[in-house]
Amino acid sequence: MRIINDLSSKDYNSFGIDVPIPCLIEIQDKADYNYLDIKGPFRILGGGSNILISGTLEEKIIYVNNKGIEILIDHEDHCLVEFAAGELWHDAVMWALDKGLGGIENLSLIPGKCGAAPMQNIGAYGVEIKDVLHSVKSFDLQNKLELTFHNSECGFGYRSSHFKTKWRDSYIITSIILKLSKNGYHTINTEYGAIQAQLEAMNCSDNPSIRDVSDAVIAIRSSKLPDPREIGNAGSFFKNPVIPQSHFETLKDRYPDIVSYPADGGIKLAAGWLIDQCGLKGYTENSGAAVHDRQALVLVRQGNAKGDDILLLAQKVKNSVFEKFGIKLEEEVNIWA
Ligand code: EPU
For 115-168, the pLDDT digits (tens) are 999 999 999 999 999 999 999 999 998 899 999 999 999 999 999 999 999 999
26 exposed, middle or buried (CB, 10 Å; 0-12, 13-18, 19+)? middle
Q: Which atom of ligand 1 is nearest to the CA of 294?
A: 8
Query: Do the Cβ atoms of 180 and 97 come closer than 8 Å?
Result: no
> Residue 39: pLDDT band by 50, 70, 90 thresholds?
confident
Q: Please indicate whether residue 239, judged by its CB atom, sits closer than 6 Å to ligand 1.
A: yes
Tell whether ligand 1 has an atom less than 6 A from the beta carbon of residue 332: yes
For residue 264, is pLDDT > 90?
no
pLDDT at 324: 98
Per-residue pLDDT of 274-310, as tens digits, reads: 999 999 999 999 999 999 999 999 999 999 999 999 9
- 102-106, 151-155, 191-195: range with lowest mean pLDDT: 191-195
Distance 281 CA to ligand 1 centre (A): 13
Report the SS3 class of residue 52.
Answer: strand
The pLDDT, as a whole number, for residue 265 is: 87
Overall average pLDDT of the 239-249 stretch: 97
Tell me, in angstroms, the distance from the centre of ligand 1 to residue 142's CA: 38
Those residues with Cβ within 8 angstroms of residue 11's Cβ, 6 or more apart along the chain or in another chain:
none
Name the strands in the sheet holding 266-269, side by side, starting at the edge strand that comes first in the sequence.
242-243, 266-269, 260-263
- Distance from the alpha carbon of residue 167 to the mean position of ligand 1, in angstroms: 28
Position 38 scores a pLDDT of 85
- The angle at the Cα of 211, spanning 210 to 216, to the nearest 5 degrees, equals 100
Closest of 82, 86, 129 to residue 110, by C-alpha: 129
Secondary structure (3-state) at 72: strand
pLDDT score at 136 = 98
The strand pair at 334-336 and 51-53 is best described as parallel
Asked whether residue 267 carries a pLDDT value surpassing 90, the answer given is yes
Average pLDDT, the chain: 96
| Amino acid 37: pLDDT | 85
Q: How far is CA 216 from CA 10, 96, 195, 197, 210, in A?
A: 31, 16, 6, 9, 10
Amino acid 193: pLDDT:
85
Tens digit of pLDDT for each residue in 219-229?
Answer: 999 999 999 99
Give the dihedral sign, CA 240/245/246/250: positive
- Residue 238: strand, helix, or coil: strand
**Residue of 238, 235, 257, 246 whose CA lies nearest to 326:** 246
Task: Specify the residue with its C-alpha closest to ligand 1, atom 32.
Answer: 239
Catalytic-labelled residue, pool 159, 175, 221, 320: 159
Over residues 158-183, mean pLDDT: 95
Mean pLDDT, to the nearest integer, of 163-176? 95
Average pLDDT estimate for 54-68? 96
Q: Which amino acid is at 92?
A: A
Does pLDDT of 7 surpass 90?
yes
Secondary-structure percent of the chain, ordered helix, strand, coil, rounded to 5: 25, 30, 45
% of the chain beyond a pLDDT of 70: 100
Q: Return the best residue to mutate from 159, 281, 297, 329 for the ligand 1 pocket (most ligand atoms within 8 A of CB).
A: 297
Phi, psi angles (nearest 5°) of residue 35: -100, 5
Contact 200, 228 (CB under 8 A): no
How far is residue 315's CA from residue 243's CA, in Å, rounded to a whole number?
Answer: 20
- How large is the average pLDDT for residues 239-246? 97
pLDDT band for position 272 (50/70/90)? very high
236 in active site: yes
The pLDDT score that the predictor gives to residue 110 is 97
Is the pLDDT reported for residue 40 higher than 90? Answer: no
Picking from 153, 311, 337, the residue whose alpha carbon sits closest to that of residue 238 is 311
Q: Which of the 8 DSSP states describes residue 106?
A: G
